[in-house]
Amino acid sequence: MTHAAWIIVTASLVGVSCGLMGVFLILRKMAMMADAISHTVLLGIVVAFLVTREISGPPMLIGAILAGLLTAFLVQWLHSMDIEQHASMGIVFTTLFAVGVILIATSVGNAHLDINHSLMGEIAFIPFNTTELPIVGEIPEATALLIFAFLIVLLFIVGFYKEWKITSFDPALAASLGIPVLLMHYLYMTLVSITTVASFDSVGAIMVVAMLITPAASAYLWTDKLSIMLVLSGLFGVISAVTGYYIATWIDTSISGAMAFAAGLVFLICFVCSPKHGLLSKVIRPIKSEV
């Protein structure tokens, strides 16, 4: 495949995995948790690098998962100490992120990790770093990681569809039905961390938030059914990713930034045009009812 094709495939994988995960984030009203985890994953990656001295899939993944769980745990713990949820989130992620940046700036240096790279991602370089996989042959390492993340996300969503649905909409009912709500919460945070770290190399720490929240919020404006929302959100994610790529090549700029921007455009269009909740519907409906 060509250079551009790999980038589009990778970007679409980011779009679809983040889109799927984002749906539950929105429904559970934990959108800012995505922001928190995407920042702290940086610390996980830096520590994994300091321990193993290499940037490769498995250690990074483990570091990121631990960082994500640590964030979720610390936020819960501070919240249990009578600190408002929003404030405890703000304290935890800014601190862990700051420690990550300090570690990068002092001990890791510019050798392999640098702050700008981890904040913005560099999807254009992804096709250069390839790895050999059985059956499929030679594919970029980041793409392989994303395929892995996408399959895990898909597996858990399809496998526990009913459980996620009940836990997201009615945690009390879920608990009374014997679903381990807390375990599901931490499992979910693990999945968010996996998605984040897999997307990290391509879009960086902050744009991954755009890919997680924005397509899902756009889909939320169109439908009331969870299954349709999941499909729409994944679709919007892919549309944002591909559009972003073309905007970026058109005006020659950062691909990840353009992807986040495209996701924002998709949201704006949905906000204006959505049949149920959009701006236009609010203008049109009163006219109809008058007739």
Partner 1 sequence: MWSMLTESNTQWVLFSTMILGIAAGAIGCIAYWKKQSLMSDSLAHASLPGIVIAFLLLGEKNFLVLTIGAAISALIGAVFIQWVISTTRITEDTMMGIVLSVFYGLGIMLLTIANRVGGGEQSGLDTFIVGQAAAMVYTDVITMLSLAIAVILIIVVGFKEWKIYLFDPQFARGEGLSLTFMNGLYTLALVTTIVIGIQAVGVILIAALLIIPPVSARYWTQYFKMMLLLSGLFGGLAGVIGTLISTFGSGLPTGPFIVVIATTLFVISLIFGKEKGILINYIQFKVHQKQVNLNQLEERGESR
Applying CB under 8 A, the residues found at the interface with partner 1 are 26, 29-32, 34-35, 39, 81-84, 86-91, 94-95, 97-99, 101-102, 105-106, 115-116, 119-120, 206-207, 209-210, 212-214, 217, 220-221, 248, 251-254, 256-261, 263-264, 267, 271, 277-279, 282
Smallest CA-to-CA distance from 7 within 124, 148, 137, 147 is with: 124
Least distance in angstroms from the C-beta of 30 to partner 1: 8
Comparison of 156 and 261: residue with beta carbon closer to partner 1: 261
Least distance in angstroms from the C-beta of 134 to partner 1: 36
Comparison of 167 and 254: residue with beta carbon closer to partner 1: 254
Least distance in angstroms from the C-beta of 267 to partner 1: 6
Q: Annotate 61-113 with three-state secondary structure.
A: HHHHHHHHHHHHHHHHHHHHCCCCHHHHHHHHHHHHHHHHHHHHHHHHCCCCC
Paired strand residues for 139: 131
Comparison of 82 and 290: residue with beta carbon closer to partner 1: 82
Least distance in angstroms from the C-beta of 274 to partner 1: 8
Residue 234 in contact with residue 263, Cβ under 8 Å? no
Alpha carbon distances (Å) from 209 to 4, 41, 118, 268, 284: 24, 12, 13, 17, 33
Report d(CA 287, CA 285) in Å as an integer: 5
Comparison of 138 and 252: residue with beta carbon closer to partner 1: 252
Comparison of 124 and 179: residue with beta carbon closer to partner 1: 124
Least distance in angstroms from the C-beta of 93 to partner 1: 9
Q: What are phi and psi of 182, to 5 degrees?
A: -65, -40
For the record, the structure tokens of 179 come out as 């679903």
